Chains A and B, each alone.
Chain A
Amino acid sequence: MMLWRQFAMEWRLYRRDRVAMFWTFAFPVVLLLGFGTIFRDGGGPKLSVVRVQAPAPGPQDTALDQALVDVQLKVQALPKTEAEARWSRGETAAQLETDGAGYRLRLNSYLMAQAGATAGLVNQAWLMAQARLNGSPEPQRIPVSVESPGHKHSANYAAFLLPGLLGLNLVSMGLFSVGMVNVSYREKGKFRRLAVTPLPKWIFLLGQVLHRLTVTVVQAAILLLVGRLVFGIENQGSFVDLFLIMTLGTGCFMAFGFALSGFAETSEGYAAISNLVFFPLMLLSGVYFTLDSAPAWLQHAVAMAPLAPFLRALRAVFNDGGSLAGHGAGLAIVAAWGLAAFALAVRRFRWA
């Protein structure tokens, strides 16, 4: 009864906090809609190349253009000025233009994953076009397709991003909704005011934890719903696995917040500490992009931090319909962080 009252009051006050509501519920959706839409084509089912239109197309150009289509490239033919403008905006991964009697292919150094694959296809098309012009037999080519590892999604960026956001939500819930709030309660004396009443402190904390848990569930449900309605993203794995891994992550990052709050005296101090943890985790753990091109030592370090293995397992289930069984090592890392944080929280947590 006391617990229910405490829990209900947390929700009532939370609903009045517009800023927290925005960051918790709306912001992840905005990110998903925004990035999911912007990068819709970039990682789409087809690799694409921008073809700068030749001023006076000869038979060679016609043959090459046909071959580009035959190797399954998406070709966007643009006049020179338009193509250049698009290139300088950074939207083009690969741009093919006539250069004297031959051709030139420019690859965007920021989009090497798409550009590299596209380059391979363009060269295949060129060999094919030459053979056709010469009347010699066409070279055999190996067909290329772009797919998600589990063959379930068509490599949609939104599908990659959504599990990343689910994980990021857990981290910010732990670090900010739990850790930051506890530091400010301690700093402002809210814990002390409670301590002079007969309310057992564990009821207060449990009410808070239950509230954060339900917030997390609602938050995840909203993201999943938007992902499904707008981008057609569905959970490819079992919902039991999804639930288990989300529970593990929630426990781990909530313990993180409790532990970290024991290391700061003031809200300002806590903001510094938590951002020091939050930003590297967010940027390096594969929330928004993979770290394939980072140095090996960094990839190893990130693989030992809690978020990256969590996201790897989450994506294996959610995107690729895999089971958790194959991710024992990664899940063990997450669980170990969670247990270490919990032990630290028990030692360091202070009411005053």
Chain B
Amino acid sequence: MTGSALQIRGLRKAFPKVVAVDGVDLDVARGEVFGLLGPNGAGKTTTLEIIEGLTTADAGDIEILGLTWAERGQEIRARIGVQLQSTSLFNKITPREALDLYGSYYPKRRSTSELLDLVQLQEKADAYHITLSGGQQQRLALALALVNDPELVFLDEPTTGLDPQARRSLWDVVRRMKAEGRTVMLTTHYMDEAEALCDRLAIMDHGKVIATGTPASLISDLAIPSVVELTFEGDAPEPAAFAARLEQAVERRADLWEIPTPDPKALLPRLLEAAESAAVPFQQVHIRRATLEDVFLHRTGRSLRE
């Protein structure tokens, strides 16, 4: 299982008011979990839907499993699995029926009971879709993306709107997919999810890929792999004067100041001394490793969560 699962060059899609995808190049290797990380409106869904054959691009070339849509569309459909950003099923269809029905659309299929096991929906196999919890509905959508035993699976925001426990159980299913040798491409705007699940990532913003790499390399490529945080009671004060005194960039985020640094050990004594003499009313000091959040902040000047 080596070689390329997906190769994209110069992908572009403009809507009347916005260029949703603006010259995207991506390579996904077979067997890896590849993430598209970016804030809402970055163009993740549009990119994915072009790859899935739902939207036509204005420009660009796509090769999926060595095939192109123009020549081998039906074969691509048979070999990929798709979970759309929102999957709408009939209110009164049961998971078992839905899996049987969608399975019947494919030449090759996995057994319904095996899939129900995989996403732990055996107990709910005969309950109406509308009675399932959000997490259960999402797991069913995942199982539906696997009915044809696909080589390449696309998951669009698989955990958005779920509680932490439901997210964890979904992550397990994704890891299982990888263990079974499938290639997975997913989108998310949660950086912890990207870090926990993805072998490699592309960070997207305003239709462009602004960085690609493994989560670890993206973070270590930051010249400033650590962040010192000063927390305040209530909103943090304006940091400009303090930043000038410290000769160091200070970001204000709600109730804290963030000070990125390559060398926290050297910064800390200076920081405490400066804070003391300026009578900064901070409560606590934390030192943490930089995260993908900081990578995004550093590249765009904005936070992922905005």
Report which A residues bind B (CB closer than 8 A): 2, 5, 9, 12-13, 16-17, 188-190, 192-193, 195-199, 352
Q: Which of B101-109, B191-199, B205-213 contacts A (4 or more CB under 8 A)?
A: B101-109
Cα(A196)–Cα(B54), bound, Å:
7
Q: Give A199 to B77 CA distance when docked, in angstroms.
A: 9
Say what secondary structure dominates the interface of chain B. loop
Closest to B79 in A: A198
Q: How far is the CA of A189 from the CA of B97 in the complex (A)?
A: 19
Whether the Cβ atoms of B80 and A196 lie closer than 8 Å is yes
Mask of B91-114 contacts with A, CB within 8 angstroms, 1/0: 011000100011011110000000
Interface window among B82-90, B174-182, B238-246, B290-298: B82-90
Enumerate chain A residues within 8 angstroms of B52, measured Cβ to Cβ.
196
Interface footprint category on B = 20 to 34
Q: Contact between B104 and A195 (Cβ–Cβ < 8 Å)?
A: no
> B90 contacts which of A13, A192, A196, A352 (Cβ < 8 Å)?
A13
Beta-carbon nearest neighbor of B87 in chain A: A193
A9 to B104, CA, bound (A): 12
Main secondary structure of the interface of A (DSSP, over half): helix
Residue of A9, A17, A190, A198 with highest tally of chain B CB at under 10 A: A198
Give every chain B residue within 8 A of A189 (Cβ-Cβ): 84, 86-88
Interchain CA distance A75-B38 in the complex, whole Å: 85
The interface of chain B, by Cβ under 8 A from chain A, is 52-54, 74, 77-78, 80, 82, 84, 86-90, 92-93, 97, 101-102, 104-107, 128
- Establish whether residues B92 and A16, one from each chain, have CB atoms under 8 Å apart when the complex forms: yes
Q: Residues of B contacting A352 with CB < 8 Å?
A: 54
A–B Cβ pairs within 8 angstroms, 23 of them: A2-B104, A5-B101, A5-B104, A9-B97, A9-B101, A12-B97, A16-B128, A17-B92, A189-B84, A189-B86, A189-B87, A190-B89, A192-B84, A193-B82, A193-B87, A195-B54, A196-B53, A196-B82, A197-B102, A197-B106, A198-B74, A198-B106, A352-B54
A202 to chain B, nearest CB (A): 13
The answer to whether A13 and B105 touch across the interface, beta carbons within 8 angstroms, is no
* A269 nearest CB across to chain B (Å): 18
The interface residues of chain A lying within 8 Å CB-to-CB of B104 are: 2, 5
Complex: A192 Cα to B52 Cα, angstroms: 10
Shortest Cβ distance from residue A204 to the other chain B in the assembled complex, whole angstroms: 9
CA distance in complex: A199, B92 (Å): 21
Expressed in whole angstroms, the minimum distance between the Cβ of A184 and any Cβ of chain B is: 9
Among residues of A, the one whose C-beta sits closest to the C-beta of B92 is A16
Contacts of B106 in A (CB 8 A): 197-198
Query: Out of B54, B89, B107, which one reaches A198, CB within 8 Å?
Result: B107
